Amino acid sequence: MIDVAAVYKKVIRATVFAGELPARFYRSVFRGTYPATVRQQLGAVVNNLVLHVHPTRVYDRSIKAQTTFGLGLICFYLFIIEWITGIFLMFYYEPSTGAAYGRILDLNYTITFGRVMRNLHRWAAEAMVVGVALHMCRVFYTGAYKPPREFNWVLGVSLLVLTLALSFTGYLLPWDQLSFWAVTVGTNIVSYAPVLGPWLRFILLGGETVGSDALLRFYTLHVIAVPAVTALIVNYHIWRVIKDGGLAHPSENRGADGEPLGQPQRSDSVVTTFPRVVYLELLVFLVLMVGLPAASLLFNAPLEEEANPLTPSNPSKAPWYFLGLQELVGYSAFWGGVGVPTLLMIYLVVLPYVDRRPAGIGIWFARERVVMISVWTVILLGILVTTALGIYFRGPNWNFYWPWENWPGPH
């Protein structure tokens, strides 16, 4: 005979078990309840793999939009988006001179959402170049590179170089006229370096000209070598932020006597990282997640006809962020190709070890730093003007044209 009562009990027990399963699973991932007390909120950051790169508490001032504009965070998000969209593109791309351009056409015309995926990758990359530059300017203008953050600034400089390297190596992959001649010009700038220049170019291209080996090399650099190094340094860079005392804050400034300036202010209050900072970071992510796809639906990444080594496009322009250098190369190959970039790198790396005075830290455009700020601004303007000249004012044969002037010839 069936024991009805026992079966009934078993059914009830199984139902209760099934009902409790989701909560049980949740608690196996996140131990404890939603952190409500300050003590629990501190624990929520320390005990979480993703969150523990944050300090447990931050200055209220540090999370105001105008303090950093979230630029470092935005660059980090863009880097992640580049990884994800890049992996998707790798499912279709083939790094060979015979196939690459056709694969890009497939992405644009045949593969569902292929064009959007390519646009996302392109626009996030351009945004990353701009974002990293803006982030660097923010850190400079708020004096946030001064001791004890000198080394993190140096890491940041290396990330700027790596971002440009990522963008430049990706530039060749579509194998269209634009990419082929941009990389031909870009690698020729490299060859103006004294002694090592031509050799460096040979190593980079795997030959004397941009061909199938150059494509394979740029591909390997672009999809694994440079991203891997960049990911490591990004992690180190973010980790160093807490280790160097969190975001730069005015309370670090010292007077001529070495004493702190004035009394701690009301703005020196702190908030717990969870939940305020976490939600703010998610909000920035949300804006990117809506904005980037919208931009990618509206604007197409450029693509010209297939690369043709016999017919140079005229003008042949390097990627836009190198057009300042190309403009200088027009006057002097040595200064544009080697002198100016080397001096710029030396300036950037040495800067935090020279400008050490604890004044103007955490303050935008502090009056005490007028000399340093002027020097930086003049250099920045120089870069912007030469770059704009290269982008908008140069036509066939690198002649000067106003942006509204028509270029001669079949354009």
Partner 1 sequence: MRKLTREEFLTWLAWSSSVIPAALMGFGSFRFLVPNFTFGPPTMFKIGKPEEFPQGRQIFLPESRLFIASTGAGIGAMSAACTHLGCTVARVEWGFQCPCHGSKFDSGGRVLSGPAPKPLPWFQVFQDPEGQLIVDTWRPVRRQTFYKFT
Question: For partner 1, which stretch binds (CB under 8 A), given 128-136, 282-290, 298-306, 371-379?
Answer: 282-290
3-state secondary structure 190-240: HCCCCCCHHHHHHHHHCCCCCCHHHHHHHHHHHHHHHHHHHHHHHHHHHHH
Query: Shortest approach of partner 1 to residue 323 CB, angstroms?
Result: 33
User: With binding defined as CB under 8 A, does residue 116 bind partner 1?
Assistant: yes
Q: Total residues contacting partner 1 (rule CB under 8 A)? A: 16
- Which is nearer to partner 1, 300 or 314 (by Cβ)? 300
Question: For partner 1, which stretch binds (CB under 8 A), given 9-17, 270-278, 284-292, 299-307?
Answer: 284-292
Strands 57-59 and 270-272: antiparallel
Measured CA to CA in angstroms, residue 224 lies from 111, 264, 310 at distances of: 24, 48, 31
Q: Name the token pair of 307.
A: 């690369």
Query: Shortest approach of partner 1 to residue 258 CB, angstroms?
Result: 47
Question: For partner 1, which stretch binds (CB under 8 A), given 17-25, 103-111, 202-210, 315-323?
Answer: 103-111
Q: Name the token pair of 377.
A: 């601004």
**Which of residues 8, 17, 113, 364 is near partner 1 by CB under 8 A?**
113
**Cα distance from N-terminal residue to C-terminal residue, the chain:** 93
**Which of residues 28, 33, 66, 112 is near partner 1 by CB under 8 A?**
112
Alpha carbons 185 and 353: distance in angstroms, whole number: 35
**Which of residues 46, 290, 354, 385 is near partner 1 by CB under 8 A?**
290
Question: For partner 1, which stretch binds (CB under 8 A), given 106-114, 251-259, 298-306, 380-388?
Answer: 106-114
Alpha carbons 364 and 143: distance in angstroms, whole number: 8
Query: Shortest approach of partner 1 to residue 286 CB, angstroms?
Result: 6
**H helix intervals, 303-401:** 323-331, 333-334, 340-354, 370-392
DSSP conformation class of 271: E
Query: Rule CB under 8 A: which residues touch partner 1?
Result: 88, 91, 106, 110-114, 116-117, 282-283, 286, 289-290, 293
